[in-house]
Structure 1
Amino acid sequence: MLYRFAHKTGVYGVSIVEEQNNQILVQIEQVIKHPKQGDLHNPKATENVFFHERKALSQFEKRYTSQSQLKAFNEDPLPYVESLQLAITKLEERLQEKQDEHARRSLENLQNLKEDYAIQYKEKFN
C-alpha cells in the first residue's frame, strides 16, 4: 500500500517498510512533486544566497517519519523513473511561465539534475 509523504519541498509515494513505536520507516517508490530549487529560507532570492540544487529522494531510499506525516495516496501508481520524469516536466513548465531570474537559475539546476539522473537511472531525461 502506498502513502503520500512530503519531505522538505518534494512529495513522494512511499511504502511502509517497518514500524517501531512512533517511528515508521518508509521507502520511496515514486516522485509526485520534484523539490524546489534555490534557497528555501529566502524563496525567490537569487543574489547573496546559496542557490541550492535539490535532488529528489532516490528510488528505494528510506526515511524515518511519523504516522501523522503519511497521507492518503491519491495518485496513479507509476514506475519511479517515469514519475520522476513527470515531476521534473511539471516543475519545468511552471518555471518557464515565470521568466524571472529565480526561474532561470532553477531551470539550469534542473538541467544539471537531469544529466545526473540519466547516469544514475540509465534513462534519458527530456
Structure 2
Amino acid sequence: MDKHQPGAIVKAAYKTGEYIGETVESDGRRILVKVLAVLVHPTQGDLHHPYDPDAPLFHERKASAYTEKVWVSASAAEPYDGAIPPYRETLETALGAEMEKLDRLKRWAERCLEQLAEIRKDYRL
C-alpha cells in the first residue's frame, strides 16, 4: 500500500524520534501519521550543541503519545509491513535503549578522563 494512502502503516521519523504509525491523510508533501509504536526515543538536549550539558537551552523531549497525530515529511516516512508491537512496550524499550546509549557514553567519557590523567602524568604537567 502506498504510504500516502489512509490506513497505510509506515515507519516515520518525527523530530528526533522514530515511530510506527498509520497514515491518516496526506497533502502530497506531508503525511499525517497516527502514532502506534516508538522505535527510537527523541534525543534530549540542544541539537545545535550535542552532548553539551551546559547548553543555554537544554531541551526535554518526550516521545509522541499513543495515537497522537503528527505531520511528517513524506520523505521521512516509508512503508512498514512488520508486526506492530504494543505502544507501551516499545516506549519502554526505546527509552531504555536511549538511557543505555547515554550511560555507555558517560562511561566512555569517564575512561577518557582517567586515561588523560595518566597521560598528563607522563607529560609531567
Structure 2 unaligned regions, length at least 5: 1-7, 110-125
Cα distance 1:44–1:74, how it changes in 2: closer, same or farther (>3 A)? farther
Q: Distance in 2 between matches of 1:83 and 1:49?
A: 31
Letter in 1 for 2:102: L
Match of 1:78 among 85, 94, 98: 85
Matches within 5 A, 1:106-117: none
Aligned residue number for residue 59 of structure 2 = 52
Matches within 5 A, 1:9-48: 9-48=16-55
Task: Tell me whether 66-75 or 22-31 shows the greater mean CA deviation.
Answer: 66-75
Q: Distance in 2 between matches of 1:91 and 1:70?
A: 22
Match of 1:97 among 82, 100, 104: 104
State the percentage of identical aligned residues: 36
Q: CA deviation at 1:11?
A: 0.4
Count of equivalent residues: 101
Cα distance 1:23–1:94, how it changes in 2: closer, same or farther (>3 A)? closer
Q: Distance in 2 between matches of 1:6 and 1:45?
A: 24
Give CA deviations for 1:65-120 in whole Å, capped at 9, x if unaligned.
343221132664211111000001111111111117x9xxxxxxxxxxxxxxxxxx
Q: Distance in 2 between matches of 1:71 and 1:93?
A: 27
Q: What is the Cα-based RMSD across aligned positions, in Å?
A: 2.1
Q: SS at 1:99's partner residue?
A: helix
Cα distance 1:66–1:95, how it changes in 2: closer, same or farther (>3 A)? closer
TM-score by length of 1: 0.70
Letter in 1 for 2:98: L
